[in-house]
Each structure stands twice: as C-alpha cells, then as structure tokens.
C-alpha cells in the first residue's frame, strides 16, 4: 500500500472543507480493507458536524473495516466535543493500522489519540507527508500554538509591481482566470480586510460572509457596494461616536503612531473567533501589514506600466540599502491564463 499516495488523497479530500470547518482543522480520510482495497473515504464537511474518520467509517457495515487500514492527515481526536471521539470509533470498528500525517497541535488531543489507539493494540504509523499536512492546516496551527489570527495578503500587479496608474485606474490588471481564483482564495478565509481608502477609490463589492473595514474617521459612504452584504465590522477612532442607525458592528480602536492600532485589531479578531483574514487593500496598507503577515498571494500580469508615479503594491517605506529588504520564501508558482500567482511566506517575522 502506498501511504504517501493515500495521504495526498486525504489532503485533497480535506480541502473540500475550506471555508466551512473553521475554527476546526481540514481533515480527509481514506479506508482500505484487510486485502488492501479502498472501501471508503470522507472529510470534515462542516464545523460542528462529523469528523472525517467518522464520515468514512459510518459509510461501512459494522464488520467491513475489521483488519483494515485507515489513513488520515491529522491525529484522530480522543475527546468528546461536538461529536464523540474518532479514536473510539476506529477501535470499535476493528481497524488494524492507522496512518497519520501529523499530530494534532490542540493540547486536548495532541498525542492522546495516538496513545488511545496504541493502548488498544492498533498499529500507528506517523509523519507521512508531514510537511504537506502542516501546510494544509497552517491556519489551525497558528491559532492553536500562538492564539492569534492567521493573516494573509492578496495583491495583483503589473510586471513592474504596480497596482494602479497614477490616476488610480486599476481595472483590470489581471485576467478573468486570476479573478476567479481570487474568489476561491477569499472563500477559504474567515474574513476579508480592507481600508476606507480602497473603498473610496474602487468601491469594491468583495463578496464574503465577514468583511473587516479600517475606517478611522468613518469617512466611507455606507451605501458603498461593500456594505450591501455580509457581516460588517468597522474599526474606527475611539473618540468618534458610532452611527446607531446602521446594522454594522463598530469597534472603537486605540490610536498608535497616529494610526489605528493594528495589534489591537488583530487581537480583537481572534477574540471574535475570526481565525483567518485576507487583506485586500492598497499598497501603503499592504506594506505596513507585511510585518504581521503569515502568507502572501501575489498575482502578476504580463503588463508594464512604466510609470514611476504609478502605485506600487507594497509602497510604505524608503530604504537606502538592499540588505534592509524584507525577505520571503517562495512557496509556489501557478499560472492562470496569462497571469502567474506567486505564493510566498516571510522568512523572519518581526511580530
């Protein structure tokens, strides 16, 4: 049996839960019978509902999995939450071998699910495609270990790094394929975040169930497209009164260095159980958020603006030495129509 191939299938299944399972992790599961035949698979489909192992096992008859192998990208749970422990059901169904991609970082589970299986005589194989499994649940890992919201930035630029011409025109830099991919990326995050400057300049819709808006002086027009759907949370200056006639969550925010306090905002998002946020804003805010960012999605179109006065994607500071540049690790390159998507991570984070 090819454990790595099966784990890749688990990861693919788990991704079907993107946008549905937060704050839970993404989990997929496949099951083979004692003769090595694939007999069932499942994934965690929605927060509060059955986990991947339970979904896969309950498709089978009571004795169908006896002596079989269960492969899952995350350690099976060992405690009662919204559902009973998956480890107990695995033992009950007579599974002989459990193959795991990574241990659960949730301290309630970590190692306990594995111990329960081993104590019951189940063979456990660990760390199959461990790095891939950790990447799949990078949001969950940060939430559990750091108790912070995962922060990503999305930008779309020309080859010379511009997001708009000097007159502000920016539609459309990238093609339709890239814009469709942006929708998928957006839907995989709990919320999107933007600024009053972006709303005033572009009047975007940014379809999403939760929208975070930074508007220190409450200068946006509340009839703008972005306010027409979803839950809206506006962070603004603590000295201003909140308009009571609007069905918007207004959060009075401290000021730091003459700007809204970003640490306060990110802490508040975690407190509100918003486990991940995707920033879609202008170059100045994008740049200022790099020190908080966990991940960057950078679409590049084969266009050259060739204008020094054009607006850059990370236009927030001036340095005199190349050695003072922020450094990143390129993770992936994908092609969407004529555009490419670079996905990269900070090498060293300051925050």
Q: How far is CA 24 from CA 46, 50, 238, 282, in A?
A: 9, 11, 33, 31
* Catalytically annotated residue among 41, 49, 53, 207: 53
Beta strand pairing status for 339-346 and 328-336? antiparallel
- Give Dmax over CA atoms of the chain in angstroms: 70
Active-site annotation holds for 53: yes
Strand, coil or helix: 231:
strand
CA 178 to chain centre: 18
Nearest to 64 by CA among 44, 37, 28, 87: 37
Contact predicate 44/7, CB 8 Å: no
Q: How far is CA 195 from CA 15, 83, 199, in A?
A: 29, 39, 7
Burial class (CB in 10 A: 0-12, 13-18, 19+), 285: buried
Residues forming the active site: 53
């Amino acid at each position: 049996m090819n454990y790595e191939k099966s784990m890749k299938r688990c990861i693919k299944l788990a991704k079907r839960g993107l946008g549905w399972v937060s704050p839970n992790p993404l989990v997929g599961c496949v099951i083979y019978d004692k003769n090595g035949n694939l007999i069932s698979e499942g994934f965690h489909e929605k927060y509060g509902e059955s986990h991947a192992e339970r979904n896969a096992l309950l498709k089978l008859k009571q004795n169908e999995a006896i002596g079989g192998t269960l492969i899952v990208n995350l350690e099976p749970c060992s405690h009662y939450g919204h559902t009973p422990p998956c480890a107990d059901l695995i033992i009950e169904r007579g599974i002989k071998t459990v193959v795991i991609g990574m241990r659960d970082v949730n301290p309630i589970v970590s190692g306990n699910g594995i111990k329960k299986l081993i104590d019951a005589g189940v063979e456990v194989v660990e760390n199959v495609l461990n790095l891939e499994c950790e990447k799949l649940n990078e949001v969950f890992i940060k939430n559990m270990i750091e108790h912070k919201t995962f922060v990503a930035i999305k930008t779309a630029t020309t080859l010379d790094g511009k997001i708009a011409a000097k007159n502000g025109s920016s539609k459309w830099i990238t093609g339709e394929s890239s814009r469709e991919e942006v929708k998928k990326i957006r839907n995989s995050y709990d919320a999107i975040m933007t600024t009053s400057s972006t709303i005033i300049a572009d009047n975007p819709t940014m379809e999403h169930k939760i929208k975070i808006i930074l508007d220190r002086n409450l200068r946006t027009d509340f009839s703008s497209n972005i306010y027409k759907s979803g839950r809206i949370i506006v962070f603004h200056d603590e000295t201003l009164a909140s308009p009571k006639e609007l069905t918007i969550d207004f959060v009075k925010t401290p000021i730091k260095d003459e700007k809204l306090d970003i640490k306060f905002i990110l802490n508040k998002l975690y407190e509100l159980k918003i486990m991940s946020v995707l920033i879609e804003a202008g170059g100045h805010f994008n740049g200022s958020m790099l020190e908080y960012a966990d991940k960057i999605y950078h679409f590049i179109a084969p266009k050259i603006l060739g204008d020094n006065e054009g607006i850059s994607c990370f236009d927030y500071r001036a340095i005199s030495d190349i050695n003072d540049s922020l450094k990143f690790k390129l993770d992936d390159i994908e092609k969407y129509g004529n555009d490419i998507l670079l996905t990269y991570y900070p090498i060293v984070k300051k925050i």
